[in-house]
Amino acid sequence: MCRQILGGCFRFESTSEALLDLVEAAYAGLPPHQLMMGTPEFRIELRLLPRQLSPSAAEPPPMRVQSGAGLLCGVMDASNYVVLAPEQRRALVVASEDMLSHRYHLRYELIEFAVFTLATRGLGLVPLHGACVGREGRGILLLGASGSGKSTLALHSLLQGLDFLAEDAVFVQPESMLATGVANYLHVQADALCLIDDDATRRWINQAPIIRRRSGVEKFEADLRLGHGRLAAAPLELVGAVFVSAQSADDPDVLLSVIPPDEIAARLSADQAYASGQPGWHRFEQRMMQQGVHLLRRGRHPRDSANALRQLLD
């Protein structure tokens, strides 16, 4: 099975239809983003092992990462792990039949870990924990701590007609500032439904499966490919970033404030602990300081925050 993801051509190989079905659920129907003239190929083998003899736990063990000898390994246990050879653009994902009952963890922590890591290393991308929306080829990066409201803002930006690039992970080419992502699912908590005015949108989210994060937080996992809003058809050129704050604005008509240039580098590094240690970070940081970064406080309704983002994209 071949899918164009994050600017690369990913070839998935397996004898297990169940594992390939998970790949299809994650990557079918995505806009085929392209970041460079050619499209590098990556190969991922997926192998299914027999069910473990011990009873399946309520939640798989957390992944531990090891590296050496040109390899990167993410290990849950002896039957569930990923081995990556970034220089060869290859990966092996091994899962037991038990993990098929933990589809979210299998997809997110094993398969997506392989895809995201190979793309980051092979395409020279800066991996960011954040969201991104835009219009007419221009994008705004949404940053902030977990619980600040990035997913809710991304949802309302989608409902207000902005292009949706990614909700949880954004990958940036630091020289061009082109951003790409995987716009497959949107994760929102139940309390966000009361802020949605459209009945069809509420039904779409309310009927979605519920996933449980490692933190214990439960969220709806709504499929963005069902036609609710517009997905970014191509990578977006970043024109700025916004730190989303859970704090309400003093003036509900003034939600945006400029972060002083001499504070931007420290704010970005503190927010992106993993990315700040990756190749390309320094150039990304320089470009972001040139473009400007804003703080976005909450208004009366999330649609007001989405309208504030429109101002930055005009």
CB atoms within 10 A of CB 153: 25
Distance, CA of 179 to CA of 35 (rounded, Å): 9
- Cα–Cα distance between 196 and 301 in angstroms, integer? 10
* C-alpha span between 284 and 276 (Å, rounded): 9
Q: 198, 161 in Cβ contact below 8 A?
A: no
Return the domain boundaries, the chain: 2-123, 127-313
81 pLDDT tier (thresholds 50, 70, 90): very high
The closest of 69, 75, 165, 182 to 120, measured between CA atoms, is 182
> Which among 61, 59, 103, 101 has a CA at the least distance from the CA of 81?
61
| CB neighbourhood size of 8 (10 A) | 25
Query: Does residue 56 have a pLDDT over 80?
Result: no
For residues 91-127, one letter each, b for 16 or more C-beta atoms within 10 angstroms of the residue's C-beta and e for the rest, the string is bbbbbbebbbebbbbbbbbbbbbbbbbbbbbbbbbbb
* Alpha-carbon distance values, 307 to 89, 107, 141, 157, 169 (Å): 41, 34, 15, 8, 22
Given the DSSP bridges, would you call strands 210-212 and 230-231 parallel, antiparallel or unpaired? unpaired
Q: What is the predicted pLDDT for the residue at 19?
A: 98
pLDDT one-digit tens code per residue, 141-159? 999 988 788 989 999 999 9
C-alpha span between 82 and 103 (Å, rounded)? 16
Tokens of 83: 């081995």
Residue 17 has pLDDT above 90, yes or no: yes
pTM for the model stands at 0.94
pLDDT of 20: 97
- Model confidence at 294: pLDDT above 80: yes
Neighbours of 280 (CB within 10 A): 17
Can you give the pLDDT at residue 228? Answer: 84
In the chain the beta strands, taken as DSSP E runs, fall at: 2-5, 8-14, 41-49, 64-68, 71-77, 80-85, 90-96, 126-129, 131-135, 138-143, 163-166, 169-173, 178-181, 185-188, 210-212, 218-223, 230-231, 236-248, 256-258, 293-298
Are the C-beta atoms of 135 and 163 separated by less than 8 Å? yes
In whole angstroms, what is the distance from residue 259 CA to residue 282 CA? 19
C-alpha–C-alpha distance, residues 253 and 66, integer Å: 49
d(CA 246, CA 183): 24
* Residue 135, pLDDT above cutoff 70: yes
Q: What pLDDT was estimated at residue 58?
A: 78
